[in-house]
Amino acid sequence: MPLTEKDVRYVAELAHLDLTDEEIRKFQPQLDAILGYMQKLNQLDTTQVEPMAQVIAPGGVSLPLRPDRIHESLPQEVALANAPEAGAGHFKVPSVIERE
Amino acid sequence: MSLAAEVRTQYEVVIGLEVHVQLLTQSKIFCGCSTRFGDPANTHTCPVCLGLPGALPALNREAVTMAMKAALALNCGINPRSRFARKNYFYPDLPKGYQISQYDEPLAEDGWLEIELNGAPKQIGVTRVHLEEDAGKSLHEGFPDSDRASYIDLNRSGVPLIEIVTEPDLRSPEEAYEFLTRLKTMMLYLEVSDCNMEEGSLRCDANISVRRAGVSEFGTKTEVKNLNSFRFLQRALAYEAERQIKVLEGGGEITQETRLWDSREQRTHGMRSKEFAHDYRYFPEPDLLPLTITEEWKEEARRSMPELPAARKQRFMREYALTDYDADQLTHSKALASYYEEVVKQGPDPKLAANWILSELMHLLNDAKKDITESTVTPRNLAELLTLIAQGKTSGKMGKEILAEMFASSRRAEEVMAEKGLRQIDDVEMIAAAAREVIAANPRQVEQYRNGKTATFGWFVGQVMKATRGQANPQRVQEVLKKELA
């Protein structure tokens, strides 16, 4: 099933991207081509292969764990150094309102 | 906004809860920053919890152990293999743009917690318990430019949480309240969380729907958020159930949506709903391998669990011959149960101790808005008072006065009793002297009594008590009077 312009709008919205109609028309065939290429992988018979999310085979290595010890944190001014806007020791962002 | 009772009874309310509990680890779940609450904003952060590029998470072993303890206490099965997943959404207090959570392979599944309402026990299914990281904190109010800016504190970003999801087994706001209360008690017993709702270490969302009685399919549900106190939970759910019934009675349909409880207006508001708002595009967290729980680790968690509320209650009934109600009240808080056992260890009668703690001491604590852990009366001192009462050195009535004074001044029972003259007069000679005085002063009543009007006896007892300013042992007074009036 080919990817539609509607799909592109949806994905753009999820990624918080403001795309113009022109861009959407441009990206639709590009995205469709990429996904179409991935379809090639589906042609492989993987019925004998256990699904995996990591390159380390299941059962090989277990997740490394950390003891519950406190390390030193960054000083506040360092933590805030990259903030486009900061104030009163906080990151400042355009006001977020969840209510209707 | 009141609904006729007969309309309400035609509907059944169905509720499921999602509870987030902050774990009491020292450090965060994926980095070594402190989890301490209340420090200056953005002083417990590092590249991992700030979501800086290239930083990698490393799982805190203690967070897993604590989560397992909670899951085992909720009778869940622990999955030998579970996995972390990314939950993707944008919000300013989520620096990475995703939350590391668990999705299709949670830590634990398929448990239950028993609640009791009006004496009837009921098992509430627990669908799953999974581990995740907390987000930072957004402050929308309280700053001079709050009308245009939100302030973000990332100290909380990465604090370990467990999410506990129940089956839709709860049938009323009262049951939901009871479940949350029991769950909180359990977590406090396990010492895996302080469950402080004001500080956000216990948070609860609810899914709620209504259906006509007898209908087997569920109605369309709404999700109610912002339930940051036990009282709000109950009120919000009662409000929402009534709202849904009204919509249906009016021929309308329920829209599946998220609603926020507004405690000021005492109502729920629909959040501006976008259809795709819930498309979190979960996928396995590539930076963390699957989590393997060995039998040994699970046993280690199990062994470190304390006696749980239900077991302690049964033991109290068995060992101390307490009623179901008293044992339940005492074991409701771990601190209270331990206080009780400390008192009993000193020797007083366990039933007497239960009565005094649950009535008199609790009364004083409630009036002073104090917790049992802040009691100025130590278990040893309360035990001493109870022993004085049992030995007849003071009476129950005077004991209450002594306890109030002990509570106010943190002093010992003997000391207060001596100073306030609240010692019970047990000396037969002293009581007899008072009795003789009363008899000599009231010849008419004596005559009546001797002529068979035995009801006067109580009046004599009262007079002797009065003459001794309430200090005489009433038992002795009766014995003495019987002799003197004969």
For residue B463, give its domain range: 428-485
| Nearest chain B residue to A10, by CA | B276
| Nearest chain B residue to A16, by CA | B90
Residue B57 is encoded by which pair of tokens?
Answer: 């998470």
Is A54 in the B-facing interface, judged by CB distances under 8 Å? yes
Residue bearing the bigger pLDDT, A54 or B145: B145
Q: Are B299 and B67 in contact (CB under 8 A)?
A: no
Query: Is the predicted pLDDT of residue B426 greater than 80, yes or no?
Result: no
Looking at the fold, whether B190 and B334 belong to one and the same domain comes out as no
Looking at the fold, whether B29 and B127 belong to one and the same domain comes out as yes
CATH number at B433 reads 1.10.10.410
The string of DSSP letters for B296-330 reads HHHHHHHHT----HHHHHHHHHHHH---HHHHHHH
Looking at the fold, whether B175 and B29 belong to one and the same domain comes out as yes
Query: Is the predicted pLDDT of residue A51 greater than 80, yes or no?
Result: no
**Quick one: pLDDT at residue B276?**
47
Query: Is the predicted pLDDT of residue B366 greater than 80, yes or no?
Result: yes
- Asked which of B300, B324, B355 is the last residue of a domain, the reply is B300
Q: Of the candidates A70, A76, A100, which has its C-beta nearest B42's C-beta?
A: A76
Looking at the fold, whether B341 and B436 belong to one and the same domain comes out as no
Query: Is the predicted pLDDT of residue B440 greater than 70, yes or no?
Result: yes
Residue B259 is encoded by which pair of tokens?
Answer: 């609603």
Query: Is the predicted pLDDT of residue B425 greater than 90, yes or no?
Result: no
Looking at the fold, whether B219 and B110 belong to one and the same domain comes out as yes
What does each C-alpha distance from B323 to A52, A79, B195 come to in angstroms? 56, 57, 28
- Percent of residues, chain B, with pLDDT higher than 70: 98
Q: Of the candidates A61, A73, A96, which has its C-beta nearest B45's C-beta?
A: A73
Q: Are B332 and B324 in contact (CB under 8 A)?
A: no
Looking at the fold, whether B95 and B180 belong to one and the same domain comes out as yes
**Quick one: pLDDT at residue A100?**
34
* B189-216 confidence digits (pLDDT tens): 999 999 998 888 999 999 999 999 889 9
Cβ-proximal residues to B368 (8 Å cutoff; 6+ apart), any chain: B407
- Identify which of B193, B258, B203 has the alpha carbon closest to the alpha carbon of residue B229: B203
Looking at the fold, whether B292 and B312 belong to one and the same domain comes out as no
Residue B477 is encoded by which pair of tokens?
Answer: 């007074």
| Domain-embedded: residue B3 | no
Counting the structural domains of chain A, the total is: 1
Q: How sure is the predictor about B416, in pLDDT bands with cuts at 50, 70 and 90?
A: confident
Q: Please give the ipTM for the structure prediction.
A: 0.88
Look up residue B152 and give its amino acid.
I
Alpha-carbon distance A11 to A21, whole Å?
14
Query: Is the predicted pLDDT of residue B1 greater than 90, yes or no?
Result: no
Which chain B positions have a beta carbon within 8 Å of A11's beta carbon? none
Note the residue count of chain B: 486
Looking at the fold, whether B221 and B367 belong to one and the same domain comes out as no
Torsion sign, CA atoms B312, B317, B321, B326: positive
Q: Are B40 and A89 in contact (CB under 8 A)?
A: yes
- Asked which of B275, B300, B325 is the last residue of a domain, the reply is B300
| Domain-embedded: residue A77 | no
- Identify which of B221, B227, B215 has the alpha carbon closest to the alpha carbon of residue B176: B227
Phi–psi pair at B49, nearest 5 degrees: -85, -5
Q: How sure is the predictor about B272, in pLDDT bands with cuts at 50, 70 and 90?
A: low
Look up residue B106 and give its amino acid.
P
* B322-331 confidence digits (pLDDT tens): 999 999 999 9
Counting the structural domains of chain B, the total is: 3
| Domain-embedded: residue A86 | no
Q: Are B361 and B213 in contact (CB under 8 A)?
A: no
Which chain B positions have a beta carbon within 8 Å of A61's beta carbon? 289
Angle between helix B474-485 and B456-467 (nearest 10): 120
Q: How sure is the predictor about B336, in pLDDT bands with cuts at 50, 70 and 90?
A: very high
| Domain-embedded: residue B6 | no
Alpha-carbon distance B13 to B83, whole Å?
34
- The secondary structure of residue B165, as a DSSP letter, is E
- Asked which of B419, B437, B460 is the last residue of a domain, the reply is B419
Q: Are B106 and B116 in contact (CB under 8 A)?
A: no
Looking at the fold, whether B144 and B235 belong to one and the same domain comes out as yes
| Domain-embedded: residue A16 | yes
For residue A23, give its domain range: 1-45
| Domain-embedded: residue A36 | yes
CATH number at A28 reads 1.10.20.60
Query: Which pairing describes strands B267-270 and B258-262: parallel, antiparallel, or unpaired?
Result: antiparallel
**Quick one: pLDDT at residue B429?**
84
| Domain-embedded: residue A39 | yes
CB pairs under 8 A between A and B: 146
* B216-246 confidence digits (pLDDT tens): 999 999 999 878 888 889 999 999 999 999 9
Phi–psi pair at B170, nearest 5 degrees: -85, 135
**Quick one: pLDDT at residue B277?**
56
| Domain-embedded: residue B333 | yes
| Domain-embedded: residue B286 | yes
